[in-house]
Amino acid sequence: MATLNDIGVAAAINILTALAFFLAFAMLRIQPVNDRVYFPKWYIKGLRSSPLVNGSAFASKFVNLDLRSYTRFLNWMPAALQMPEPELIDHAGLDSAVYLRIYLLGLKIFGPIALTAFTVMIPVNWSNNTLEHSGLTYSDIDKLSISNIPIGSHKFWTHLVLAYGFTFWTCYVLKREYEIVAAMRLHFLASDQRRPDQFTVLVRNVPPDPDESVTELVQHFFLVNHPHHYLSHQVWSLTSTLKIIPSSITFSLLQLVYNANKLSELVNEKKKIQNWLDFYQNKYKRNPLKRPSLKTGFLGLWGNSVDAIDFYTSIVERLSRDICGEREKFSSNTKSIMPAAFVSFKTRWGAAVCAQTQQSRNPTTWLTEWAPEPRDVYWENLAIPFVFLTIRRLIAAIAFFFLTFFFMIPIAIVQSLANIESIEKALPFLKPIIEVKFIKSFIQGFLPGIALKIFLLFLPTILMMMSKFEGFISLSALERRSASRYYFFQFINVFLGSIITGTAFQQLNHFIHQSTSQIPKTIGVSIPMKATFFITYIMVDGWAGVAGEILRLKPLIIYHLKNSFLVKTEKDREEATDPGTIGFNTGEPQIQLYFLLGLVYAVVTPILLPFIIVFFALAYVVYRHQIINVYHQEYESAAAFWPDVHVRVVAALIVSQLLLMGLLSTKEASQSTPLLITLPVLTICFHRFCKGRYEPAFVRYPLQEAMMKDTLERAKEANLNLKGFLQNAYIHPVFKSADESDSESESESEWERSPALVATKRTSKRFTPMPSKDGGSVVSLDQVNDECLKP
């Protein structure tokens, strides 16, 4: 049992660690040589150019010699907070802005709760002597917790009333936040520029037809079932001949989804070779006297010496031919066309209608749903038939169940194998080294843990693979699904696993053989005892972890390694920086764990709350800085994850209520049970209300909004060429990344024309692949074919 002093020491250590991280960050970030690591977002946006190019003195290119800048080493904090929210949304997208609101939500919920708990509950807890007289060992922290109240005391009414108070406050804040986020989402969608996904619907499970190709089938189906203009009946009788563009048709633009693995390989190969070509061309440009040459053998160490530029040029040409050949195969081979299509509509209204309605008699064919944003599409999953989806979900659910409850078994096996004796047996020549005492104790202490650590490191990846297997069609959905699984895993194995020691499977077995009313009691009783453990956990994982996040040690090292050894061209350097993303699938479950801890301990051991508040405040500042300067958005889902966030906080609330009930029932305050049982019931009702009231804003697209935007657009831009805008929006990345440089000039002029909010000097194609207007920056299929015809 830790005393207040112990906690103080641990806090001091962690605060110092965090400060050290911040200091290191402050030093590193102002060095020009690290500029690309700490400000990649601005490079991507094109608002910052490399200091390596326009620096003056050689030394100042790498080291910051301006000593004044070192004195202001914490000035990034106010800077991070300065950018107002609307600008932040423009700068980093709504997803990021709303993600930050999760931290704010934590502050809003726990600030007033902590205040109330400290003024009311701690004095009540402190003014008893139960623990002193009990003869048990106890710490000062326990004196502040509910454990200090004598059994059967009337003081438990304080906790009961506060449990109600905290529940109502949490629900109030949650509701307000849901309301605000829903409004933000709708406002974002409404004020957002024209985007292809507003007009596009993804159609899956197109039924096979012996007479028509998928393309024709889709076109006919939507011609018939979503006529928009129709004037009179005559038009209908004419539509049988497709020559007459029927007036009953909104153009349905088909961009079929290809199954293209080999092609994708070729494209990647070409990209690599092209990079080498660029490298040698640059070299030649810098030193025009000597034409670079290379050897064709292994690693360029031996073999014939050839002219490097000619050599790579010929390879690039060959690959281009192969790619064209593959593409033509696709065009002619109908088997490679998957039964899925992106169908675009003339108006947002038409798309909203198509996405929300059932198309065909058989509800498993012609499945329509909103198309995700072009960069959000997960192409691999587009063609999974309905039946397989059901089976895949079942398999994934079972796999996840076993992963959660039985993951300890393989790890325990690995641990039992990976001991000194078996290593010595397998690799006898290592014996002398291992037998050295220091190394031996190190291995013995380290080895068993490493299997678990590696597993936990790979867990998000495993969960993401599961989600992919389940068949979600957008990256955002994949991340949401992984996040909820990760949260459940953490709830079972971190939260419950820490409270009741033992593996998850032992718990499960325990619970199955225990009465239903016993479970909350078992857990509830252990809760106050684990407070100090969780306080330490918060400081290590929360405080130091967040401070470590800002240092970006891993990307820093990787960037410098790559920069020293691999980077050949400017493009390579661009690619060497990994800006990273928010990482919703791992970040959000972590925050949710703090919500859970805060809500559970709010009534039991309120001393834990300040630690959580510090975490939320710190994380808010750090992540705001990272979002502004570092992370690059992979996709924009317009805060589609908020319902998940909301439901998890509500679940944490219900868990906290049930555990409090279990705890109080062991304190012989069972007259409070009926009052405590109503709390989860009320909370569930609150959730249902919120679900009905706000969730549709995240799932459906109201027709009124769609119509409003359509009308406005028609009034403002009467002669809009929507067809051109949508033509190449949804193209498989393989076709798209074909020939980027060709269309660069086009795309730039396009960017200048469009009313961009941030002045953009140049655009990196790799990071902003899709939202270019009129599809000018990407090569359409026609263009590609034209190109193929050239020798």
Q: Phi, psi (5° rounding) for residue 413?
A: -65, -45
The answer to whether residue 670 forms part of the interface with a second copy (CB under 8 A) is no
The answer to whether residue 514 forms part of the interface with a second copy (CB under 8 A) is yes
Which of 68, 154, 437, 513 is close enough to bind a second copy by CB under 8 A?
A: 513
The answer to whether residue 693 forms part of the interface with a second copy (CB under 8 A) is yes
Which of 358, 444, 461, 501 is close enough to bind a second copy by CB under 8 A?
A: 358
Residue whose C-alpha is closest to residue 122's, from 97, 143, 102, 138: 143
The answer to whether residue 282 forms part of the interface with a second copy (CB under 8 A) is no
Rule CB under 8 A: which of 707-746 touch a second copy?
707, 711, 714-715, 718
CA pair distance 109, 656, nearest whole angstrom: 14
The answer to whether residue 396 forms part of the interface with a second copy (CB under 8 A) is no
Instruction: Tell me the CA end-to-end span of the chain in Å, nearest whole number.
Output: 79
Tokens of 219: 């076109």
Cβ–Cβ under 8 Å, residues 40 and 569: no
Which of 305, 357, 416, 501 is close enough to bind a second copy by CB under 8 A?
A: 357
Which range touches a second copy (CB under 8 A), out of 424-432, 516-524, 539-547, 589-597?
A: 516-524
Q: Which amino acid belongs to residue 483? A: A
The answer to whether residue 284 forms part of the interface with a second copy (CB under 8 A) is no
CA pair distance 377, 370, nearest whole angstrom: 11
Q: How far is the CB of 478 from a second copy (least distance, A)?
A: 20
Q: How far is the CB of 182 from a second copy (least distance, A)?
A: 9
The answer to whether residue 127 forms part of the interface with a second copy (CB under 8 A) is no
Tokens of 168: 């109502």
Q: Which amino acid belongs to residue 299? A: L
CA 424 to mean position of chain CA atoms: 43
Binding mask 144-183 for a second copy (x = CB under 8 A): ----------------------------------------
**In terms of CB distance, is 291 or 723 closer to a second copy?**
723
Rule CB under 8 A: which of 179-208 touch a second copy?
186
Cα separation values, 170 from 59, 602, 660, 722, Å: 55, 11, 16, 46
Cβ–Cβ under 8 Å, residues 651 and 115: no
Q: How far is the CB of 393 from a second copy (least distance, A)?
A: 8
**In terms of CB distance, is 398 or 430 closer to a second copy?**
398
The answer to whether residue 661 forms part of the interface with a second copy (CB under 8 A) is no
Contacts with a second copy by CB under 8 A: the residue count is 56
Which range touches a second copy (CB under 8 A), out of 97-105, 388-396, 735-743, 747-755?
A: 388-396
SS3 166: helix
Q: How far is the CB of 166 from a second copy (least distance, A)?
A: 21
Q: How far is the CB of 518 from a second copy (least distance, A)?
A: 8
How does 211-234 read in b/e, with b if 16+ C-beta sit within 10 Å? eeebeebbbebbbeebbeeeeeee
**In terms of CB distance, is 250 or 747 closer to a second copy?**
250
Which range touches a second copy (CB under 8 A), out of 384-392, 408-416, 547-555, 751-759?
A: 384-392
**In terms of CB distance, is 3 or 522 closer to a second copy?**
522
The answer to whether residue 387 forms part of the interface with a second copy (CB under 8 A) is yes
The answer to whether residue 681 forms part of the interface with a second copy (CB under 8 A) is yes
Q: Is 345 left (phi over 0), alpha (psi -120 to 50) or beta?
A: beta
Q: How far is the CB of 191 from a second copy (least distance, A)?
A: 13
The answer to whether residue 677 forms part of the interface with a second copy (CB under 8 A) is no
**In terms of CB distance, is 127 or 225 closer to a second copy?**
225
Residue whose C-alpha is closest to residue 560's, from 105, 35, 24, 10: 35
Which of 364, 536, 563, 673 is close enough to bind a second copy by CB under 8 A?
A: 364
The answer to whether residue 666 forms part of the interface with a second copy (CB under 8 A) is no
CA pair distance 336, 325, nearest whole angstrom: 14
CA pair distance 97, 636, nearest whole angstrom: 11
Cβ–Cβ under 8 Å, residues 263 and 271: no
The answer to whether residue 137 forms part of the interface with a second copy (CB under 8 A) is no
SS3 203: strand
CA pair distance 148, 303, nearest whole angstrom: 82
Which of 363, 385, 410, 724 is close enough to bind a second copy by CB under 8 A?
A: 363
**In terms of CB distance, is 692 or 755 closer to a second copy?**
692
Which of 59, 398, 439, 720 is close enough to bind a second copy by CB under 8 A?
A: 398
Binding mask 216-245 for a second copy (x = CB under 8 A): -----x--xxx--x-x-x--x---------
The answer to whether residue 700 forms part of the interface with a second copy (CB under 8 A) is yes
Q: How far is the CB of 361 from a second copy (least distance, A)?
A: 5
Cα separation values, 5 from 143, 453, 531, 548, 577, Å: 14, 30, 15, 25, 44
Binding mask 459-498 for a second copy (x = CB under 8 A): ----------------------------------------
Q: Are strands 367-370 and 253-258 parallel, antiparallel or unpaired?
A: unpaired
Q: How far is the CB of 215 from a second copy (least distance, A)?
A: 19
504 Cβ neighbours under 8 A, 6+ residues apart: 404, 405, 406, 407, 408, 492, 493, 496, 497
**In terms of CB distance, is 354 or 550 closer to a second copy?**
354
The answer to whether residue 292 forms part of the interface with a second copy (CB under 8 A) is no
How does 374-397 read in b/e, with b if 16+ C-beta sit within 10 Å? bbbbbbebbbbeeeebeebeeebe
**In terms of CB distance, is 177 or 479 closer to a second copy?**
177
Tokens of 575: 């690619």
Cβ–Cβ under 8 Å, residues 772 and 753: no
Which of 688, 723, 762, 766 is close enough to bind a second copy by CB under 8 A?
A: 688
Q: How far is the CB of 150 from a second copy (least distance, A)?
A: 26
Cβ–Cβ under 8 Å, residues 182 and 91: no
Tokens of 691: 């679900």
DSSP letters for 359-428: -SSSTTSSEEEEPPPGGGB-GGGTT--HHHHHHHHHHHHHHHHHHHHHTHHHHHHHHHHSSHHHHHHH-G
The answer to whether residue 505 forms part of the interface with a second copy (CB under 8 A) is no
Which range touches a second copy (CB under 8 A), out of 9-17, 31-39, 521-529, 690-698?
A: 690-698
Q: Which amino acid belongs to residue 590? A: Q
CA pair distance 440, 434, nearest whole angstrom: 5
Residue whose C-alpha is closest to residue 746's, from 722, 723, 769, 778: 778
Which of 17, 275, 356, 666 is close enough to bind a second copy by CB under 8 A?
A: 356
DSSP letters for 648-682: HHHHHHHHHHHHHHHHHHHTT-GGGHHHHHHHHHH
Tokens of 358: 């059932």
The answer to whether residue 697 forms part of the interface with a second copy (CB under 8 A) is yes
**In terms of CB distance, is 336 or 666 closer to a second copy?**
666
Which of 297, 303, 696, 724 is close enough to bind a second copy by CB under 8 A?
A: 696
**In terms of CB distance, is 485 or 521 closer to a second copy?**
521
**In terms of CB distance, is 457 or 718 closer to a second copy?**
718
Total count of residues recorded for the chain: 791
The answer to whether residue 300 forms part of the interface with a second copy (CB under 8 A) is no
SS3 264: helix
Residue whose C-alpha is closest to residue 635's, from 204, 256, 195: 195
* Positions that interact with a second copy (CB under 8 A): 186, 221, 224-226, 229, 231, 233, 236, 352-353, 356-361, 363-364, 366, 386-387, 390-391, 393-394, 398, 511-518, 681, 685, 688-689, 692-697, 700-705, 707, 711, 714-715, 718
